[in-house]
Amino acid sequence: MSSSTDIHPSAVVEDGAQLGEGVKIGPFCHVGSEVTVGDRCVLQSYVSLVGKTVVGSGNEFYPHAAVGGRSQDLKYTAEPTGLRIGDHNVFREFVTVNRATDPGNETVIGSHGNFLAYVHVAHDCVVGDHVIFSNNGTLAGHIHVEDYVILGGLTAVHQFCWLGAHCITGGCSKIVQDVVPYTIADGNPAEARGINRVGMERRDFSPEAVRAVHDAFKMLFREGLNTKQALEKLAGPAASQPAVARMLEFVASSERGVVK
């Protein structure tokens, strides 16, 4: 433990926990014996980090975040599983993140994410970088979330779904199928409402790329074609645009079907 680490007297840091340089642990926090906390992380108060949890650098945990708890999967019987978190994430009040279910597996969260109050990330999820999960956003088990996804408040995502990069969900949405990259999914159950034009522009996609994605969206969801027909029509010059190629690859490989 580094001399630069600041631990409040009321906090409990179990023997075996590894703390990096400049870690600050506030009142009534609990850090378990198998936890590794990277440099310059901040645990404000009443934070629980337990289990085989590895946390990168520069993360901040707000009061009552509970991270690394055992899987809620009923098949789980205390096998050794893990949770791995990247760098520079924010976990707001009452966020919960669970470890994986099967022995040797990990739940994974990337870097630069913003997880707002009461967000839940269940067992075996894989979450990318630069995501924003609004208040009460909930992931069931085995969900894959790509980079730059925005989850609207009170959105619930069914287990095994895949959320493509740069997609966004509307508040109170029910997601039961995969969400195509760059699209907006909204409703209960969700429907594809359009493309995430603002998100793409903020990420410096060219006007040509945005137009190509818009045209691909219309072909996939607005021309009355089935999936095979739409993919065949888009397989020519349109697929030379990388964003469109990613959309087509995503749709073709989806196992649950996509939100339309």
Q: What is the pLDDT along the chain (260 residues), one digit of tens a residue?
A: 666 899 999 999 999 999 999 999 999 999 999 999 999 999 999 999 999 999 999 999 999 999 999 999 999 999 999 999 999 999 999 999 999 999 999 999 999 999 999 999 999 999 999 999 999 999 999 999 999 999 999 999 999 999 999 999 999 999 999 999 999 999 999 999 999 999 999 999 999 999 999 999 999 999 999 999 999 999 888 889 999 999 999 999 999 999 99
What are the catalytic residues? 123-124, 141
pLDDT at 2: 66
Q: Please, what are the domains in the chain? A: 6-142 (2.160.10.10), 201-253 (1.20.1180.10)
pLDDT at 128: 98
pLDDT at 105: 97
pLDDT at 161: 98
For residue 252, how many other CB atoms are within 10 A of its CB?
11
pLDDT at 137: 98
- Please give the model's pTM, rounded to 2 decimal places: 0.96
pLDDT at 1: 64
